[in-house]
Structure 1
Amino acid sequence: MIRSTILLLIFSLLLATSLAGECEVCTKVIDDVRESMGEKKTWKSKPAVEAALDKYCKKKELGVREKKICYYLTPIKRDVAQPFSLGIPSSKVCKKLEKVNPEVCSVRFPVKTGNMEKKDYTKLRVKQLKQILADRGVECKGCAEKAEFVKRVTDTDHMEEL
């Protein structure tokens, strides 16, 4: 019983890392709800899944992004419970939910910049550079080229994320 749960968690983690960046926060929330429910038998009950999702979303120690996903998932918890109860992997549950609410997969974790060297910023995409600036609360008005975004990110390297 425990072995199968561990194997399922490992499988879902591998699947999540293979789809890194796609619905990453939603996948984490679904995995956390699954983990909180314990045995796989309890996953089959849709009311139990809905209750577990409500309980998870009421936790006070949730991060900003997890709270945002809860905001999106709470109104559609029946749509969450259906594929969840069938044992579908978290990433696929989130992809199905994206059809109901496209914002479910738009929430992403911030790009880690703590141990990056300045030359590594050039390897990032413009979208990621914009996200780093947004996390720091900085705008890059008039930036059109990637080099300008890289310069702005390196100039604001001393700033912490909001």
Structure 2
Amino acid sequence: MLHSNQPAPDFSALNQHQQTVTSSDFIGHKNVVLYFYPKDDTPGCTIEANEFTQMANEFAAADTVVLGVSKDSCASHQTFIDKFSLQVELLADTSGELCEAYGVWQEKEKNGIKKMGIVRSTFIIDKQGKLVEALYGVKPEGHAQAILEKVKTL
């Protein structure tokens, strides 16, 4: 698992438009909120994406880009964005490399059944590419507001 005050792992993934987004796109320009979620269009993931969307202008005013990451495809991300009018960019980590790099691909247990999956997690990366915050196992409700408050202090 990652910790604050260390360099953020580099990333490169396709967004919902099948355009490559890399961590170096933001170095020196924007703070990044990189949030990992289990699956498009599921209850908790929809709450989280909608809350980040509701605060999109405030994140932009804080010079911060919000990127959601799951193992869903670019097409699935676009459908999710269209269905809920989301204003966040979603990255398709279909290979799982990004999930592994950030330590969010973990064993989870539900109803006594253990399986591997994405643990809902959020990382705040400053303009120099350093991890300011590494939060694992977050709850979707109210999470975007808490992250916004932290971003405003950067």
Check whether TM > 0.5: no
More strand by share: 2
More helix by share: 1
Give the TM-score, by structure 1 length: 0.30
Give the TM-score, by structure 2 length: 0.31
Considering only CA atoms, is the larger Rg found in Structure 1 or Structure 2? 1
Larger RCO of the pair (alpha carbons < 8 Å, separation 6+): 2
